[in-house]
Structure 1
Amino acid sequence: MSSANSDKFGPPKRFQDTSESVWVEYVALALKHKPKVNLGQGFPDYAPPHYVTEALSEVSHGNHLLNQYTRGFGHPRLVQAIAKLYSHLIGREINPNTEVLVTVGAYQSLYSAITGHVDDGDEVIIIEPFYDCYYDQIKSAGGVVRSIALKPTKSGVLSAADWKLDPVEFEKLFNEKTKAIILNTPHNPLGKVFKLDELEMIADLCKKWNVLVISDEVYEHMVFEPAKHIRINTLPGMWERTITIGSAGKTFSVTGWKLGWSYGPANLLRNLQLVHQNAVYTCATPLQEATAMAFEFELTRLNSSESFFKSLAVELTDKRDYMAKFLTETGFQVTLPEAGYFMIADWSHNADKVDLSSESDEFKDYRFTKWMTKNISLQGIPPSAFYTKPNKHLGENYIRFCYIKNDETLHDAAKILKDWYSK
């Protein structure tokens, strides 16, 4: 018998331009160099709300059937809770059994939505910078990526709101081949919250060209005053063409639970269900039960300042402002987020303080972030990872930091940068 042919068993053509993700690469980088402060990946380094973890503890010692398979498209108690929450938030009665799908994180919701709706040659619009899996998931489904970049509309001190789409350029992307657009609001990594006029522009073009909206809203509860999160599915004529995606990991600060959901009209969710049932079939029952309990608790205090959905945004506002202060004091030019827990900062004014010749990556932000990890023990993420190849230069002067961290962690980051800057 002949040995295996490496070409025959290589990746299919749709994966051949897919490289190692920035997360895989930078987790390995952190494991090797062990930076004192890692502000790269987006997760808290402190405990989630007590009632969330107590719910899981209660589940693990409770009904033994909760350790077995549950309903494939979502644990009954959880889909009921999700439907109840969003029915309240969008002012439309959502059917828990046909209009909600529970997935392995928002990541799988994205995958199921893209794989379930995109066919060979379909064009999908993405807005740069974008969460990196959008691109590869579209390509793996046989789709064609059409992209447009958000760009700052002024110089100097920036808010995320200052990054905008060119409406003329945006309209030119739409045609008969356009199948879908992926909208991310609140936005990662900018922290931008799309305003009503921006959403109306998107909605009008989607209705004109009969385009599906996949709305990634995982940071929906982390919006800072005075910004307001508007769900595009509440705009006239948009419910019937929108799939909205959420995340328990982001909502309750339990990213390791890897639990997410999609909601929208039954006819659109049907395609996601077909992908889901042939990929993972069902999600972990105990985690779904505990998440349902957490939602039920929050539903009793939605209008209270004690609601985690409100208190987390207040807490993050202080952390955001502290990070903006110490970055500005150390020569970075920040874009102040309106939401989420990431901040991008222009490091180019500090370029003369570093010798990047030891790093061989093509893009400057990769070289800079790796230099920082190895030389001053602080890790961030290179934003060029969130652009298509022709536009990667737009992200090269920036670095992305995460600020949903203990105050002590942020103080340590500030000290590292101030010590470095002073030298």
Structure 2
Amino acid sequence: MVKVAGGVPVFIPLRPTKEGKVTSSGDWKLDSAELAGKFNSKTKLIIFNTPNNPLGKVFTLEEMTEIADLCKKHDVVCVSDEVYEWMTYGTAKHIKMASLPGMWDRTITIGSAGKTFSVTGWKLGWCIGPKHLISCAQVAHQNCTYTSPTPTQEAVARGLELEISRLGTPESYLTSLAEELLPKRDNLVQQLVDAGLKPVVPEGGYFMMADYTGKEFELPDTDEAKDFRFVQWLIKNKNLAVIPPSAFYSAEHEHLAENYVRFCFIKKDDTLKKASKILKEWS
């Protein structure tokens, strides 16, 4: 989309800073010097994502302030993808980029009904921001409205109205979802460790990366990325489907993800039990 708009995409990856049988998504960080070096007089916009997919990293206030300061210094707009905002665990807390000093006027915040209400088939979301930025989004939006019929818009609007009235109560779906997902996450961590994989425990979202290089397997010799070949091997040999995370990376950085696969734990307990059985038999 950046190229279609006539722009030049510039990428910067999160990199792991720790090793071990179990690490945290918080251990993956941006290099400050590298980040600052990506900004110059031609930089117009940064696309930012917290909680992050595929890692599940929840950026801290310090990390976000560093990005915000660079945006202000170079007069850059921030598109902040925060669709997993209600799914954070433990001490990790979601912070809206637009809430930082001086950032409201230069931030478009992206939300998702599919993620917020667990109806991912409803391709409906929203942008929040100042009028001068939202008007630009409206120009593009009027030409790409294909999956937001009136019934789903009305359903989402009513859901939001109801959940606003429930915030801070035990009935709130927005806050109870993370509580429901936490034991699923922790159970998957243990199953992966027992199977000889090294999970990266997510602070947010419902995906989990895991290093699979401790397992023994023989992959076909093709031009495909290593994680793609491993995913195909896992499906064919173990009947377990996962996602190759290098698909989320630019060509220059995809090697950072080639030793990982992405699991999803927002599943029915029966499905997770089947996956657990496969992992146990593999261990």
Q: Give the TM-score band, short-chain normalised.
A: over 0.9
CA distance, structure 2, for counterparts of residue 140 and residue 376 of structure 1: 40
CA distance, structure 1, for counterparts of residue 159 and residue 171 of structure 2: 14
The answer to whether structure 1 residue 373 and structure 2 residue 235 are counterparts is yes
CA distance, structure 1, for counterparts of residue 260 and residue 148 of structure 2: 37
**TM-superposition CA deviations, 1:103-155 (whole Å, max 9, x none):** xxxxxxxxxxxxxxxxxxxxxxxxxxxxxxxxxx2223222111111111111
The answer to whether structure 1 residue 386 and structure 2 residue 248 are counterparts is yes
1:22-41 equivalences in 2 (<5 Å): none
* Structure 1 counterpart of 2:162, from 297, 313, 316: 297
Amino acid at match of 1:251: T
Give, in angstroms, the shift of residue 282 of structure 1.
8.7
CA distance, structure 2, for counterparts of residue 150 and residue 282 of structure 1: 32
For residue 349 of structure 1, what is the aligned residue in structure 2?
214
For residue 84 of structure 1, what is the aligned residue in structure 2?
none
**TM-superposition CA deviations, 1:170-192 (whole Å, max 9, x none):** 10000011011111001101110
For residue 139 of structure 1, what is the aligned residue in structure 2?
3
1:172-211 equivalences in 2 (<5 Å): 172-211=37-76
CA distance, structure 2, for counterparts of residue 417 and residue 361 of structure 1: 28
Q: Secondary structure at the match of 1:144?
A: coil
Unaligned runs of 5+ in 2: none
Change (3 A) 1:281 1:257: closer
**TM-superposition CA deviations, 1:220-257 (whole Å, max 9, x none):** 00011211101010111000000000000000011111
Give, in angstroms, the shift of residue 281 of structure 1.
8.1
CA distance, structure 1, for counterparts of residue 235 and residue 150 of structure 2: 39
**TM-superposition CA deviations, 1:25-46 (whole Å, max 9, x none):** xxxxxxxxxxxxxxxxxxxxxx
For residue 94 of structure 1, what is the aligned residue in structure 2?
none
For residue 318 of structure 1, what is the aligned residue in structure 2?
183
CA distance, structure 1, for counterparts of residue 144 and residue 154 of structure 2: 21
CA distance, structure 2, for counterparts of residue 280 and residue 291 of structure 1: 16
CA distance, structure 2, for counterparts of residue 355 and residue 260 of structure 1: 42
CA distance, structure 1, for counterparts of residue 124 and residue 187 of structure 2: 30
Amino acid at match of 2:247: A
Change (3 A) 1:162 1:212: same
The answer to whether structure 1 residue 401 and structure 2 residue 263 are counterparts is yes
1:245-284 equivalences in 2 (<5 Å): 245-280=110-145, 283-284=148-149
Give, in angstroms, the shift of residue 306 of structure 1.
2.1
For residue 308 of structure 1, what is the aligned residue in structure 2?
173
CA contact (8 A) 1:361 1:367 kept: no
CA contact (8 A) 1:181 1:214 kept: yes
CA distance, structure 1, for counterparts of residue 65 and residue 161 of structure 2: 33
For residue 102 of structure 2, what is the aligned residue in structure 1?
237
Amino acid at match of 1:138: V
CA distance, structure 2, for counterparts of residue 251 and residue 282 of structure 1: 17
Q: Secondary structure at the match of 2:166?
A: coil
CA distance, structure 2, for counterparts of residue 334 and residue 361 of structure 1: 26
Give, in angstroms, the shift of residue 362 of structure 1.
2.3
Give, in angstroms, the shift of residue 321 of structure 1.
0.2
1:13-92 equivalences in 2 (<5 Å): none
For residue 163 of structure 1, what is the aligned residue in structure 2?
28
**TM-superposition CA deviations, 1:358-410 (whole Å, max 9, x none):** x6342110000011111111010111111111111110000001000011111
CA distance, structure 2, for counterparts of residue 348 and residue 202 of structure 1: 33
For residue 417 of structure 1, what is the aligned residue in structure 2?
279
Give, in angstroms, the shift of residue 295 of structure 1.
1.1
Higher helix residue share: 1
Give, in angstroms, the shift of residue 338 of structure 1.
0.4
Unaligned runs of 5+ in 1: 1-136
Q: Secondary structure at the match of 2:155?
A: helix
Give, in angstroms, the shift of residue 169 of structure 1.
0.8
* Structure 1 counterpart of 2:198, from 311, 333, 337: 333
Change (3 A) 1:306 1:384: same
Q: TM-score, normalised by structure 2?
A: 0.97
Structure number with greater Rg is 1
Change (3 A) 1:270 1:282: farther
Question: What percent of counterpart residues are identical?
Answer: 56
Which structure ranks higher in relative contact order (CA pairs < 8 Å, sequence separation ≥ 6)? Answer: 1
Q: TM-score, normalised by structure 1?
A: 0.65
